[in-house]
Amino acid sequence: MNKTEENKISENVTCKKKDLCTCKKTNTNEITKLHEQIELIKKNNKLEINKLLNSFNEERNSYKKKIDELNKRIELINIDFVDKVNKKSTEAKKILEQKINEMSIKCDKSINDIKKFGMQDSFIELIKIINQFNLIIKYENDDPKIKNFLAGFKMFSALFNKWLAQNNITTMSIQIGDEFNSEIMEAIEIETNPKQKNNCVERVIEDGYKLYDRVILHAKVVVAKKLDNTLK
């Protein structure tokens, strides 16, 4: 090999080296750029991920807040519902107790009425009999024998009235001149009497009686009535 050929080969080698160096440098720059791009992408991705995470956390907190508010509302509704149920239960209990008390009072009253007035019909029959004796007692006679009989009747009548009082039966006090009262009196006759007030008792034929506060026998009376001058 001559000198010229060696120089050419040397130049080629040198040129190749330069090309290699240039290529290496270019590749290094490109690699550096790729690294920079990768880092930039990573950074952007991280920012995007953080942004997404922040957004997710905000939404989660917002939902959590709404859930807490709903739970509070549900709790308040439950408390209000329980209060209403308790109130209604208390009212129902009071009404029930009131009804039970009313029924107890009515029942007690019915029992007391049965005790007090159970013998009413029998008492009325006895009183009607004694009223017949009283009519006889009111009859006046000068015959000594009849007077003796009347004295015996009066004694019997007094004993009977005492027995009636012991059984809570009382004679109603009705006086001549009292205004006629249909609740305690029975008018068996009407008489004209210009001296007496109109619709007042003229005479008491039979006494009336009460058992406790209940009228069991109306008094039989004669009622006075004034003449109507317009009819004369």
Span 181-208, mean pLDDT?
A: 90
pTM of the model: 0.50
Q: Give percent above pLDDT 90 in the chain.
A: 13
Q: Are 226 and 190 in contact (CB under 8 A)?
A: no
pLDDT at position 209: 93
> Residue 49: its pLDDT value, please?
83
Q: What is the mean pLDDT of residues 62-76?
A: 87
According to the model, what pLDDT value does residue 185 have?
A: 95
How many whole angstroms separate alpha carbon 168 and alpha carbon 213?
9
Helices (H) then strands (E): counts for the chain:
3, 6
Residues 159-180 have a mean pLDDT of: 88
Q: What digits encode the pLDDT tens for the residues 43-62?
A: 888 888 888 888 888 888 88
CA-to-CA distance for 226 and 179, rounded, in angstroms? Answer: 14
Q: State the DSSP code for 223.
A: E
* Paired tokens of 227: 């003449």
Report the 10 Å Cβ neighbour count for 131.
18
Q: What is the pLDDT of residue 20?
A: 59
Between 34 and 13, the higher pLDDT residue: 34
DSSP one-letter code for 179: B
Query: Are 209 and 127 contacting, i.e. CB atoms less than 8 angstroms apart?
Result: yes
Asked if the model's pLDDT at residue 230 lies above 60, the reply is: no
Let me know: does 134 contact 207? Beta carbons within 8 Å.
Answer: yes
Please give the distance of CA 163 from its chain centroid, rounded to a whole number. Answer: 49
Cβ within 8 Å of residue 167, ≥6 positions away: 119, 123
Our CA angle for 150, 152, 156, nearest 5°, is: 115
Q: How confident is the model at residue 99 (pLDDT cuts 50, 70, 90)?
A: confident
Residue 16 — very low, low, confident or very high, per pLDDT cuts 50/70/90? low
Taking 70 as the threshold, does the pLDDT of residue 95 lie above it?
A: yes
- Spatial separation of the C-alpha atoms in residues 130 and 208, rounded to whole Å: 12
Q: What is the pLDDT of residue 91?
A: 85
| Selection from 38-47, 79-88, 205-214 with the highest mean pLDDT | 205-214
**pLDDT the model gives residue 232:** 38
Give the per-residue pLDDT at 59: 85
